[in-house]
Amino acid sequence: MGTRSSIARTSIALRMRRLSILAGLVFVFGACGQESLSLQEYGAEAETLVVVVTARIDRLDSELDAYSSTREGAQTYWSRRLDARVEFLEGLQSLDPPDDAVELHRIVVDLFVRLNAAEQALAARVATLDSGVPPEQWWETPEGQAARAVDEEVTSVCHVAQAEFDKTESGAVFADTPWIPSEMKEVVRVAFGCPE
């Protein structure tokens, strides 16, 4: 049981880290064409959001055994996790994408609104479970499965966003051509680490 619980926690932590990284990096893509900030500056703002939420959730997940051993502990875990998610989403919503990335921005924000709602529903479900129910069983509930379904959508968007970033590689050939606009020369190299 201990090994299975450990594997489940590791899987959950990796999925949540990927979600956070994806969100930050997708919004770096959304900066293409924005004149007030360079792509790197915009990416730095998004990266800050990602670093903060990832650190908070990783810290919570590292103490998951202690939290999950009691009903009160599980409620504390979910309260803190949801607080981190809400702050992350608010930061995401405050980013102002350029016109050519508004649709992607809308899709990603909507996706994380849905992820937060799914995790809120899961937290409410966990609050009704008996004390000491292991975390892997949280994710086996209908609410946990719904949260995982949103996570699968995040994976799909991750692959699309990675492909868009990969397209910027072609701009490297124009790096030393003075008459080509700078936005066509900018290359953004990222590795989202999208799950297979």
Give the tens place of pLDDT for each residue, 23-78. 444 444 444 444 544 455 555 666 677 778 878 988 999 999 888 888 899 999 99
- CB-based contacts of 120: which residues, under 8 Å, 6+ apart? 82
Q: What angle do CA 97, 102, 104 make, to 5 degrees?
A: 105
- Which amino acid type is present at position 122? L
pLDDT score at 78: 96
- Sign (positive/negative) of CA torsion 61, 65, 68, 70? negative
Assess whether pLDDT exceeds 60 at residue 7.
no
Assess contact for 148 and 105: CB atoms under 8 A: no
Of the segments 47-51, 63-67, 117-121, 151-155, which one has the largest average pLDDT value? 117-121
Q: What is the average pLDDT score of the chain?
A: 73
Say which range, 12-26, 39-53, 76-90, 131-145, has the weakest mean pLDDT: 12-26
Quick one: which of 127, 106, 57, 58 has its CA closest to 86? Answer: 57
Indicate the angle between helix axes 39-62 and 2-29, nearest 10 degrees: 170
Residue spans per domain, the chain: 2-159
